[in-house]
Chain A
């Protein structure tokens, strides 16, 4: 029979990979959102900066590297599998398209969230690259708390979100994340074989709830900072 590698990269294997990595990414996004909540603490960014500092230095800085390597791997597999499914294989399988296409409606799950997965996905990827560049590979102001000097990432965030363009783009991308999760959440269960007619309607509700919660959580932050945060104090205390 076929080798494990060819099974893993079969049409079903790719779905399993997309679903598994999707779940992992959902987990990551969830933790990320929880971390972001520290920004809502009215402490001038102290909690947020401590959180960032902790992440960078835990286990002598190894934790963040391990996570980054893991995340990059997960991203690569998620993207490669998804792009072959929804782009290259799709084009190969139907070289000549229809003159007229209508959604079938009824029990179909096809809609903007499902058809835009590739667009929302790629946008999210570009966003992640810019996001990492902004927080990891740029010069940051410093701040000192109780004798420990650390990056003042809070200042970076607030400065950014005081610009309407950035806030607008960020909100747009987070709405796209919501769309991505609307289809991706239940789809991951389906792709891993963890679905049946009994669970389908519950999963659909959960997917909607998840999508709205995540999008709302991430969207709330820039709006909050834009409207309510004080301009950051350079240099700290």
Chain B
């Protein structure tokens, strides 16, 4: 079933030594003269770190930017929710960090499934991000001497994470938002809030525009440009319950995929180990508790299966600090995929926190004894307060209860070194693309990648694309725009006409449970086959029995959600197919058939050291799998160990 899509999957990695590739590429890239830039327009979808950063920087450079977001203001893009921090290889702590070390940690953390050249560039740019953010007024934590503070995060042994309390994502995003605001005032960026991209318009093989729905009025609108940048984030809400915002969706990506952008590694999903456990069927989301908690919190379960005593009644000798036991070198700071799976192993064996069979303890008792309550409150007070509000339980006194939750998707649209997808002129940035994190993302690396793509990579690679010229006119009256708009209209009309008996939430919940059970933390052939069948049936059920109240030409969030769910019902199947085809375990993708005797992930580098990129073949057709081989010239591929 694998076929080589070599011609379309050329990563276009510049030649030369790894450390010089990006600089050399910059020199080889074409330029657009300042006076000519305003003649080019660029559509950027999304206003998070990647999208907003790209839009603002393109605006600063003088391009005409049209920037879209589904939120009521660009400042609410979901980057806002990232808590813990952002990595950079500054080595301010003199603990042995370097560009090479960050590169190494990221490739290893991604279980050798990321593209070497992209990761190295990311590692190089990480330092510029900190400088840029500080210049914008991002209030990173400081030492008393006035220098920047750092902390450590999972999966690494240096302190390279910069942070702004537990709101690093928010502060970085507000930096982006302020840069965007300045460009809006300068007239270079035109902002379209409450606009949802519902289709990509491809003219003569090149991305030339989008169709949007104005979420306030329901009106469909056409927008044309010389290049399109998608930075619309990930697709974790395919699991229904995830740490993502309720409006996060894959529709822009999926619509682009249907128009010819290949989807890479859709099965690579990150299940974050520390979220507040699920409590009931009514729930709309899972709340993340920052990974930084594992710096001081100790994870444990009762040694005895089925122990229902309250945590404070369980004596020290009857507790199993399983992360410290299994991974002495990294202890509670093992990478996310390892920590999440370890929690599942314990719970599957019947050892869990008292509240739910799917929860473990995260205990601060030792930290409070060592540091004092005030220090712990200073570091984690806001998270503790959030936890207490949700569970009505005080983490200073009783250990927190946590459980893994879908969080981040490493998969996304396939892009080359220039972040260009398989559609010419369609660039994909941030979580929406696939390239930098391989099969597992390390903590504090998502913000790094979003900023690197947005501020530094997209503006340069888009300029190079525009400099090549030969784009020609593409008015919004073009047939391709007509066709795209009427297909969107048809789709939304049909959603409203079904008039069945099941709500959007109801069907989404069912999809989510199916995904979580079969395509979640552990996967196997039987379950995946079964899931593919179930999802197909659920898709039919959706199109025959959905109930969407309200009108199309009005604000109608139920309709918005229905459109997104329709796409999740297709993407979910692709995720299962990808997981099925990848007959190995790597990073966040764990196939129960492929594990070591100790229960760790077992890669198959001979057969699967590649990117799987799926090509859409039409409704009712199975997508076609292509591969991009990965080669590691600067790093020794090893079995990942955190023992």
| Chain A directly contacts chain B within the complex, with at least one CB pair under 8 Å | no
Instruction: Using CB atoms and an 8 Å cutoff, list the residues of chain A in contact with chain B.
Output: none
A-binding residues in B (CB < 8 A): none
